[in-house]
Amino acid sequence: MDRHGYELPLLLAGAFRRIIDELHRRLAEQGHPDLRPAHGFALQAVGRDGTTVSELGRRLGVSKQAATKTAAKLTDLRYVTRTPDPADARAVLLTLTPHGRAALTLSARIFDDLHTEWKQSLGATRLSALEDDLTKLTPSSTPTPLADLPGWFH
């Protein structure tokens, strides 16, 4: 029953992908058909307190030029609004719209639902063990593990 070395990464990627796909399937069903995985992370990075473009770039681990583009997209999709920063005339404040806050809340709920489903499927003990083991395999070296995932592949 010993598996080849190349199988584990495939399993990890498959499981990750499955989860993200399912998340976005449910998000689409519930009023957020335009939200792409990359947007989800960006939305999370904007956060309920809002942020600036440069700070968004820092949080996502990408250049501020990339952050500018992402912010523009989120603005187009009506997930965030841009307002001038009263304290700094250079800066632009990105703030979640109600739609954006709803997406964040809904995502958290779906993630929890999925987590519960995994728990039912694997058992609480196995799931905890799986998470513990993955934690051990992924030392602290990865501060924001997903931030640069879109670009990292290249």
Kindly tell me which residue out of 7, 21, 29, 65 binds DNA, with binding defined by CB under 7 A: 65
Q: Which of DNA, its own copies, none has residue 145 at its interface (CB below 5 to 8 Å by kind)?
A: its own copies
Residue 83 engages DNA in binding (rule: CB under 7 A): no
Q: Which helix (H) or strand (E) holds 92?
A: strand 88-96
23, 43, 45, 71: residue in contact with DNA (rule CB under 7 A): 71
Q: Token pair for residue 97?
A: 């719209």
Site for its own copies in 90-119 (CB under 8 A): 107-108, 110-116, 118
The Cα–Cα gap between 65 and 147 comes to: 15
Nearest-approach distance from CB 107 to DNA, in angstroms:
16
Residue 122 neighbours by CB distance under 10 Å: 13
Binding mask 1-20 for DNA (x = CB under 7 A): --------------------
Of the candidates 52, 79, 100, 103, which one interacts with DNA according to CB under 7 A? 52
Residue 94 β-bridge partners: 51, 82
Q: Between helices 7-29 and 98-122, what is the axis angle to 10°?
A: 130
Cβ neighbour number for residue 52 with a 10 Å cutoff: 20
Instruction: Write down the residue that tokens 């806050």 correspond to.
Output: 101
β-pairing, 80-85 with 51-52?
unpaired
Q: Which of 17, 25, 69, 78 binds its own copies (CB under 8 A)?
A: 17
Q: Closer to DNA by CB, 97 or 118: give it.
A: 97
Binding-site ranges for DNA (CB under 7 A): 36, 38-39, 52-55, 60, 62-66, 68-73, 82, 85, 88-92, 148, 150-151, 153-154
